[in-house]
Amino acid sequence: MTVGIFDSGLGGLTVLDAVSRRLPEMTFIYLGDNAHAPYGVRDADDVYCLTKSHVQKLWDMGCDLVVLACNTASAAALRRMQEDGVPKGKRVLGVFVPLIEALTERTWGDNSPPREVGVKNVALFATPATVSSRAFQRELAFRAIGVDVEAQACGGVVDAIEEGDMILAEALVRSHVEALKRKMPHPQAAVLGCTHYPLLQEAFQAALGPDVQVFSQADLVAESLADYLDRHPQMTGADLPARFLTTGDPKRVSDRAMQFLRRKIAFEAA
C-alpha cells in the first residue's frame, strides 16, 4: 500500500512526517523536485508542467494516489490536471481543502452552501505564486461568507529554508508578518499556506502574538488522507518499498532533510 508524495523540494517532508505517523501501515514514495525549487517564483504554466510530469512519474512507479504536498503546485496545477482528466485508476489530491475545511468548521463532503463561520479576518502566508493564483480565496468562497482574507507573499523564505539558513528565514518571517499587520492589524487566524513553513511555526506565532490561531497543514492533511483511504480503499496502490527521490543532488538534499525529519534519510536520484 503505497502513496506518492510530491513537493517542489523539502517542504513536503512536513506532510510526509505527519502522514507516516497517522498511517504507519502505509509506505510512501517521496519525490522532491529540488532541481527546480522554489516553485513559488515560477509562473502558473511552468508549475503546471513540472508538477504534471513528476506526478506522472509517481503514477508510473505504481502509486495510484499522489498527494501534492505543495500549496504552490496545488494552487497552480491541481485543478488543471483534474480538468485535463487523470489516467484510469489514478488520482491526485492537494493540500488546500483540508486546511480550508478546518478553518470553515466543515467535515469532508459537506457541500452545503457557503455560510458564516467563526473567523472573520484571516491572514494567509504563502509563496508569491500561491498568493497570485487566489486559489485559497476561491476555495474559501465555496464554503464561507464574510471572511476577509489578507494574503502576504513571503518572498525568500523557501529559498532560505532550502539553503538551511534559518536565521535569515526567521528574519524574513518577522518582516512578512509586519507587512501583513500593516494591511490587517488584527487577524484572528493565520494560515501557513506553504508546506515549508511548519519549520517556522514558532517564529510566525511569536511575530503574530498569542491571540492569533495559527493553522498549519501537516496534521490536517494526514487526517484527511486517512479518511480518504478509508472511503477509497482501492486507491492504496501497489505494495512498494518506501523511497526518497530527488531531481537535485541526493547527498546535499539528504543532508538538508535532517532538519525536516530529525532523522537520517537517504535520497536517491529520481
Given the rule CB under 6 A, which residues bind ligand DGL?
7-9, 11, 37-40, 70-72, 127, 130, 158, 194-196
Whether a cis peptide bond, with omega within 30° of 0, leads into 38 is: yes
* Between 195 and 247, CB nearer to ligand DGL: 195
Q: From the centroid of its chain, how far is CA 24?
A: 20
Nearest distance from C-beta of residue 57 to ligand DGL, angstroms: 18
Of the candidates 49, 63, 70, 154, the residue annotated as catalytic is 70
Nearest distance from C-beta of residue 71 to ligand DGL, angstroms: 4
Of the candidates 49, 63, 154, 194, the residue annotated as catalytic is 194
**Is 49 assigned a catalytic role?**
no
CB-CB neighbours of 188 under 10 Å: 16
Q: From the centroid of its chain, how far is CA 4?
A: 14
Residue number with the shortest CB distance to ligand DGL? 40
* H or E element at residue 150: strand 148-153
Instruction: Of 68, 266, 40, give the one whose Cα is nearest residue 160.
Output: 40
Q: Cβ distance 47 to 76 under 8 Å?
A: yes
Nearest distance from C-beta of residue 153 to ligand DGL, angstroms: 11
Which residues 6+ apart lie within 8 Å of 240 measured at CB?
2, 27, 29, 61, 62, 63
Nearest distance from C-beta of residue 136 to ligand DGL, angstroms: 11
* Between 38 and 187, CB nearer to ligand DGL: 38
- Please identify every residue annotated as catalytic: 70, 194
